[in-house]
Structure 1
């Protein structure tokens, strides 16, 4: 049962992102979350309020014409009855027509996420993306990130994860 619930959290993460259902996306996280996308995108790892993570993610993802995050090959390791780590493959496609070339950027890699049991069920307490390779026009991703950053309020970091 726990394994199925954790699998569901990871699938809700992808579905919430692609459908722009930010309430569903938020339901995946503990109130504070560690986020580490440094391996592929250069932002430093950070710990922040989940509401701030959602507020920062929404305008970036909404800047794309379409996205599709496919989560597969999930392996879940339980550390005790309330803590687990999940590793899952991801193929994240991002589409944004532009005048400078290919309209797509695809990230192939894996997530290493930490989970914690809460009174509401299993939630992610940390999310880390490790790209293995990328295809397409990385400029598409940069254009959308720039558009999203211009639309989002400044989100203060509460801590840097080391």
Structure 2
């Protein structure tokens, strides 16, 4: 494996993480660095037609309007490089807390998926040209939380961690 292969793999994994952070932190400028302009996303079993990346982004933004918090963990990624293209398969675990009409009740969604991605490297870096998403399992339920705990979650979810001194290096 060459140094360039290692750099390409690191760049692909970084792009996968930018996707998760975009959705989990409402950092939509990161989302814009993940897909090519004409990328197609197939949601197996959910949508008959592939979505274009901007349509998926808008769906996620709309979904996040009532989401209190969420976390996507992307792991066990296998990457097959054939530069300037690549393919990858990643395991995804996700937990989402969605608001309900009751102020102390939240809908919890826990699941796992696979992302099967086709990649292209350009001057802008590695970008996904096609993604297939398959759901492996999904567990949804409503839970009751103390109002103080919900306030704590809200505070953490509303913080722009990328611009805080917690994230930035200070001299």
TM-score normalised by the shorter chain: which range applies? 0.7 to 0.9
Question: Greater relative contact order: 1 or 2 (C-alpha under 8 angstroms, separation 6 or more)?
Answer: 1
The match for 2:63 is 60
**Kindly tell me: are residues 52 and 72 of structure 1, through their superposed partners in 2, closer, same or farther at Cα, counting changes over 3 Å?**
same
Superposition deviation, residue 47 in structure 1: 4.7
Residue 128 of structure 1, aligned match among 107, 126, 132: 132
Q: How does 1:8-157 map to 2 (within 5 A)?
A: 8-39=14-45, 42-48=46-52, 50-78=53-81, 80-98=82-100, 103-137=107-141
Q: Which runs of 5+ in 2 are unaligned?
A: 1-6, 143-171
Structure 1: distance between partners of 2:116 and 2:68: 27
Relative to the length of structure 1, the TM-score reads: 0.74
Q: Any runs of at least 4 consecutive aligned residues in structure 1 with deviations exceeding 3 A, and if so which?
A: 50-53, 99-102
Q: Which runs of 5+ in 1 are unaligned?
A: 139-162
Relative to the length of structure 2, the TM-score reads: 0.71
Per-residue Cα deviation, 1:50-107 (whole angstroms, up to 9, x for no partner): 33432332112332111111111111012x2111111111011111143698620112
Structure 2: distance between partners of 1:45 and 1:6: 26
Structure 2: distance between partners of 1:99 and 1:54: 25
